[in-house]
Amino acid sequence: MTNKKFDLVIKGGRVVDPALGFGQDAHLFIKDGRISAIESDSAEMSRMLKTLDGDQVIDASEKLVVPGLIDIHVHLREPGREDEETIESGCRAAAAGGFTAVCCMPNTTPRIDNQETVKFVQDRAEGASARVYVVGAITKNIEGKELAEIGDLVKMGAVAITDDGHYVQNPDIMRRALEYSKMFKIPVCQHAEDQYLVSGGVMNESFQSTRLGLKGSPAVAEEVAVLRDIALCRVTGARLHIQHISTRRAVEAIRQAKREGVNVTTEACPHHFVLTDEEIGKEFNTNLRVNPPIRTKEDRDAVIEGLVDGTIDCIASDHAPHSEEEKDCEFDQAPSGMIGLETTLGLVKTYLVDRGYLDWGDAIRKLTSNPARIFGLKGGTLAVGAAADITIIDPDKKWTIRAEKFRSRSKNSPFIGWKLSGQVYKTILGGKVVFEL
């Protein structure tokens, strides 16, 4: 507790909070780690601001002041692969990308399928530059055979469950997971890819895979999985969240299911709304190997359309760090995944906002209040009394993605060298600046 009336004031920025339906120039006042007021400018305000210490004030003029971004799909690799990422380094990357909260996936080594591992992650996240929410496994050891102790996971603080990286192939087990999870009011998240149809594919099945002689993973593998799970969601009345949607027909399936009132939500990743499989081209760049794969132009456009019409609720990075050694190999031998925490906001601005698909309000909604709602998280708003998790964005700042600037321990991004517009200026967590440009 301090004696000052305010610990921090962010003055003169354009405050955008879709949860509050707020979008205007205003000053934001922070006290004891919480938002204490949002005030429009006035003569009285200006006089008051002049009385504050310089170190109490952040001048946000020409900037956007938004709720701290929330990424509900992140791989922090700890425990098990601390060479690729740690909770600490992942959270630094999150802060640099404007994220004040991340939800970490359970496919670590060991898996996050028991209370002890949840506790381990929570303990390691103490004092990190972002809030870490744990997503537990659906099945023991992510093997798709027996349900994990979901109740215990939730009791310990898990906010959702998923076997991410693996599809729960057995429909009966998925049905039970949906039914069982209803007791805890958490979403069951699905990495939707029928493994029989994927059949070892390493890139999208298309003319490009034909050209390159790489085994294709067909879009229908995702479509079949999404349709099956929508059917199971309908019959169980549970909450289903489809992760990293990537195909046209899967987007259509979710659009239709939502029309029918099925309780399904979904997310899209920047690489699926920015890239197409033609990028793999002749260079066989292993940083473009992701799962689900980067699809065709038609699929990419459908993902954008889904973001525009609200079929796709939120944007998540699927930040998947891999060491340089692991990615420096034959394309079909490389692990899947690319990092994304530090590039997501710039890609959203450059490829969705600047191109007129989303306005800032929509974009921020998909990065704050919507993910918070889906996973039942606190945050995602600048409401008075809420934790002062805030992201300040320099909306038109031109910058180039540089490998050496990444805070992540891994550099596996195909976007290195890309020029973007829109960069994080400061990230504030609980009233404290955790990142500044």
Partner 1 sequence: MSHLASRHLLGLEGVSKEDMTLILDTADSFREVLDRTIKKLPTLRGITVVNLFYEPSTRTRISFELAEKRLSADTVSFSPSTSSVQKGESLRDTVQNIEAMKIDMVVVRHKSSGVPYYLTQCMDANIINAGDGTHEHPTQGLLDMFTIRRKYKKLEGLRVVLVGDVKHSRVTRSNLWGLKTMGASVALCGPSTLMPYEVERFGVDHYTDIDEALEGADVVNIMRIQLERQQAGLFPSQREYTNLFGITRERLKRLNKNYTIMHPGPMNRGVEITSEVADSDQSVILDQVTNGVAVRMAVLYLLSGRKKEEGADND
Would you count residue 212 as binding partner 1 (CB under 8 A)? yes
The nearer residue to partner 1, 146 or 283, going by C-beta atoms, is 283
Residue 244 main-chain phi, psi, to 5 deg: 25, 70
The radius of gyration of the chain from alpha carbons, rounded to an integer in Å, stands at 21
Contact region for partner 1 (CB under 8 A) — 70-78, 126-134, 211-219, 252-260?
A: 211-219
Nearer to partner 1, 207 or 417 (CB): 207
Task: List beta partners, residue 161.
Answer: 136, 188
Residues within window 309-328 making contact with partner 1, judged by CB under 8 A: 325, 328
Q: Closer to partner 1 by CB, 67 or 216: give it.
A: 216
Kindly state the smallest distance separating residue 284's Cβ from partner 1, in Å.
3
Is 213 a binding residue for partner 1 by CB under 8 A? The answer is: yes
- Nearest approach in angstroms of CB 212 to partner 1 is 6
Among 211, 355, 398, 432, binds partner 1 (CB under 8 A): 211
How near is the Cβ of 326 to partner 1 at its closest, in Å? 10
Q: Clarify whether 318 is annotated catalytic.
A: yes
Q: Which of 40, 42, 46, 210 binds partner 1 (CB under 8 A)?
A: 210
Binding segment toward partner 1, per CB under 8 A, in 19-27, 204-212, 337-345, 409-417? 204-212
Binding-site member from 24, 170, 333, 400 for partner 1 (CB under 8 A): 333
Compare residues 207 and 310 and give the one whose CB is closer to partner 1: 207
In the complex, least distance from residue 210 CB atom to partner 1, rounded to whole angstroms: 4
Q: How far is the CB of 206 from partner 1 (least distance, A)?
A: 6
Residue of the chain from 329, 384, 403, 437 that contacts partner 1 (CB under 8 A): 329
Which of 7, 318, 389, 394 is flagged as catalytic? 318
Q: Which of residues 230-259 bind partner 1 (CB under 8 A)?
A: none
Cβ of residue 316: shortest distance to partner 1, in angstroms? 29
Q: Tell me the backbone φ, ψ of residue 351, rounded to 5 degrees.
A: -100, -15
Identify the residue among 129, 206, 408, 412 touching partner 1 (CB under 8 A).
206
Min separation Cβ 171 and partner 1, Å: 22
Which CB atom, from 160 or from 214, has the smaller least distance to partner 1?
Answer: 214
Asked if residue 331 binds partner 1 (CB under 8 A), the reply is yes
| Shortest distance (Å) from residue 323 CB to partner 1 | 12
- Say how many C-beta atoms besides its own lie within 10 A of residue 399's C-beta: 16
Is residue 3 exposed (0-12), middle (13-18) or buried (19+ Cβ within 10 Å)? Answer: exposed
Tell me how many residues contact partner 1 (CB under 8 A).
22
Q: Which is nearer to partner 1, 218 or 270 (CB)?
A: 218
Which string of x and - marks every residue 263-302 that binds partner 1 (by CB under 8 A)? -------------------xxx------------------
The verdict on 414 binding partner 1 (CB under 8 A) reads no
SS (H, E, C) the chain: CCCCCCCEEEEEEEEEECCCCEEEEEEEEEECCEEEEEECCCHHHHHHHHCCCHHHEEECCCCEEEECEEEEEECCCCCCCCCCCCHHHHHHHHHHCCEEEEEECCCCCCCCCCHHHHHHHHHHHCCCCCEEEEEECCEHHHCCCCECCHHHHHHHCCCEEECCCCCCCCHHHHHHHHHHHHHHCCCEEECCCCHHHHCCCCEECCHHHHHHCCCEECHHHHHHHHHHHHHHHHHHCCCEEECCCCCHHHHHHHHHHHHHCCCEEEEECHHHHHCCHHHHCCCCCHHHCCCCCCCCHHHHHHHHHHHHHCCCCEECCCECCCCHHHHCCCHHHCCCCECCCCCHHHHHHHHHHCCCCCCHHHHHHHHCHHHHHHHCCCCCCCCCCCECCEEEEEEEEEEECCHHHCCCCCCCCCCCCCEEEEEEEEEEECCEEEEEC
Q: Using the rule CB under 8 A, which residue among 214, 274, 348, 390 binds partner 1?
A: 214
Which residues are marked as active site?
Answer: 318
**Which residues of the chain form contacts with partner 1 (CB under 8 A)?**
205-207, 209-216, 218, 282-284, 325, 328-333
